[in-house]
Amino acid sequence: MKTLSAIVRRILPGRRATDEPAAALPHARGRRASHGSAAATFDASRRQGIERLFEAQSQGALEGLKAIQADLADSVESNGETLASVRVIEEKSGDVATRAQSIDGSSTELAETLEAARGSVDEMIGQIRQILEALQGIESIARQTNLLSVNASVEAARAGEFGSGFAVVAHEVKELSTETSDLVASVSGLVERVSQSSRSVEKAIGSAVTHSRETSRSAGVLREAAEATHVENHRIVDNIENNNDRVFVSLAKLDHVIWKVNTYLSVLNGKPVFEFVDHHNCRLGKWYEQGDGRNSFGGVPSYPTLVEPHAHVHEGTARTFEELESEAFAAGDLRAVQRGLAAMEKGSEGVFATLDRMLHEKQQDRARR
The CATH number assigned to the domain holding 170 equals: 1.10.287.950
Name the residue range of residue 122's domain: 110-226
**Whether residue 244 is found in the same domain as residue 359:** yes
Q: What is the pLDDT of residue 30?
A: 45
What sign results for the dihedral spanned by CA atoms 130, 134, 139, 141? positive
Going residue by residue through the chain, which has 369 residues, state the pLDDT in tens, using 9 for 90 and above: 444 445 444 444 444 444 444 333 344 344 444 444 554 554 555 555 545 545 554 665 566 566 666 656 666 666 667 767 777 776 777 777 777 777 777 777 777 777 777 777 777 777 777 877 777 777 777 777 777 777 767 766 776 666 666 666 667 777 777 777 777 778 777 777 777 777 777 777 777 777 777 777 777 777 777 777 777 777 877 877 788 888 888 888 888 888 988 898 888 888 999 999 999 998 888 888 887 788 888 899 999 999 999 999 999 999 999 999 999 888 888 889 989 999 999 999 999 999 999 989 988 888 887
Around 134, how many Cα atoms within 13 Å sit in the side-chain half-sphere? 8
What sign results for the dihedral spanned by CA atoms 156, 159, 164, 166? negative
Report CA-CA distances (Å) from 19 to 24, 120, 163, 166, 341. Answer: 10, 106, 161, 156, 16
**Whether residue 115 is found in the same domain as residue 15:** no
Residues 6+ away with beta carbon under 8 Å from 316: 340, 341, 342, 343, 344, 345, 346, 347
363 located within any domain:
yes
359 located within any domain:
yes
76 located within any domain:
no
- Residue 331 has what DSSP assignment? T
User: Which residue, among 111, 117, 104, has the nearest Cα to 211 in the 3D structure?
Assistant: 111
**Dist CA 125 CA 191 (whole Å):** 10
**Dist CA 121 CA 300 (whole Å):** 65
**Whether residue 253 is found in the same domain as residue 351:** yes
98 located within any domain:
no
Longest dimension (CA), the chain: 183
Give CA 196 to chain center in angstroms: 57
**Whether residue 272 is found in the same domain as residue 175:** no
Q: Are 259 and 348 in contact (CB under 8 A)?
A: no
**Dist CA 336 CA 262 (whole Å):** 18
117 located within any domain:
yes
**Whether residue 217 is found in the same domain as residue 333:** no
**Total count of domains within the chain:** 2
Residues 6+ away with beta carbon under 8 Å from 279: 285, 307, 310, 311, 313, 314
User: Which residue, among 288, 301, 281, 297, has the nearest Cα to 252 in the 3D structure?
Assistant: 288
**Whether residue 214 is found in the same domain as residue 283:** no
**Dist CA 7 CA 17 (whole Å):** 11
**Whether residue 220 is found in the same domain as residue 264:** no
Q: What is the pLDDT of residue 24?
A: 37
For 225-230, which contacts have Cβ atoms below 8 Å and span 24 or more sequence positions?
A: 226/93, 226/94, 226/96, 226/97, 226/100, 227/97, 229/93, 229/96, 229/97, 230/90, 230/93, 230/94, 230/96, 230/97
Q: What is the pLDDT of residue 305?
A: 95
pTM: 0.56
355 located within any domain:
yes
**Whether residue 347 is found in the same domain as residue 314:** yes
